[in-house]
């Protein structure tokens, strides 16, 4: 039985390098789990990846041609017209595309969505504790007092200099 991998007697042992990796630079399963904790279930991870890929595919279908894209489409070879629908797919009208874009803009500009996003961002903030808050406040007050003294000192010095020069 190997000392590197307890409980895995039937697996051959690999000599490890100074960083704990195998001779070929690969980490053991235990080292990977220890260094990168995360999803325990591979099927769960694959399902999540498939869901993200599906969402990306759906979002890709929502792209509306902009004038730049239309100009580029006109310069494509004649053998592949951009206006022809793909097999089984129908093209949507310009009015439908503009309505969809207007609805999307309304959703982006809504006050409710803005407030929900503000609350979501505020939940991500790491708020300081009482002791940290007192420390930060003290530092700010001391810094402001030093800057006020510096500006006041320069003001007095310049005022005396102007009086000395111009009488």
pLDDT band at 94 (very low <50, low <70, confident <90, very high): confident
- Which of the two residues, 12 and 106, has the higher pLDDT score? 106
Please give the average per-residue pLDDT across 64-90, as a whole number: 55
Position 31 in a domain: no
Same structural domain, 96 and 150: no
User: How many domains is the chain built from?
Assistant: 2
Q: Which candidate, 23, 52, 48, 53, places its Cα nearest to that of 38?
A: 48
Q: Find tokens 């995360």 and name the residue.
A: 38
Helices marked H in 6-129: 29-35, 42-61, 67-74, 94-109, 111-124
Same structural domain, 66 and 97: yes
Assign 3-class secondary structure to 100-121.
HHHHHHHHHHCHHHHHHHHHHH
Position 13 in a domain: no
Print the domain residue range for 157: 127-167
Range 99-104 contact pairs with CB under 8 angstroms and sequence separation of 24 or more: 100/62, 100/64, 101/64
pTM over 0.75: no
How do residues 34-51 score in pLDDT, each as one tens digit? 665 565 667 777 777 788
Same structural domain, 118 and 133: no
pLDDT band at 111 (very low <50, low <70, confident <90, very high): confident
Please give the average per-residue pLDDT across 48-77, as a whole number: 65
Same structural domain, 120 and 141: no
Position 151 in a domain: yes
């Amino acid at each position: 039985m190997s000392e590197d991998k307890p409980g895995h007697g039937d697996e051959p042992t690999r000599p490890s390098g100074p960083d704990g990796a195998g001779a070929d630079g690969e980490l053991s399963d235990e080292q990977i789990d220890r260094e990168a904790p995360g999803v325990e279930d591979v099927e769960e991870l694959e399902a999540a990846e498939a869901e993200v890929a599906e969402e990306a595919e759906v979002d890709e279908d929502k792209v509306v041609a902009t004038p730049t894209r239309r100009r580029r489409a006109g310069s494509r070879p004649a053998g592949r017209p951009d206006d022809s629908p793909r097999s089984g797919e129908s093209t949507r009208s310009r009015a439908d595309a503009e309505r969809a874009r207007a609805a999307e803009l309304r959703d982006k500009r809504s006050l409710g969505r803005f407030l929900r996003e503000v609350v979501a961002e505020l939940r991500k903030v790491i708020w300081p504790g009482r002791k940290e808050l007192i420390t930060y406040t003290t530092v700010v007050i001391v810094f402001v007092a030093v800057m006020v003294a510096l500006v006041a000192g320069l003001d007095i010095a310049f005022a005396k200099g102007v009086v000395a020069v111009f009488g």
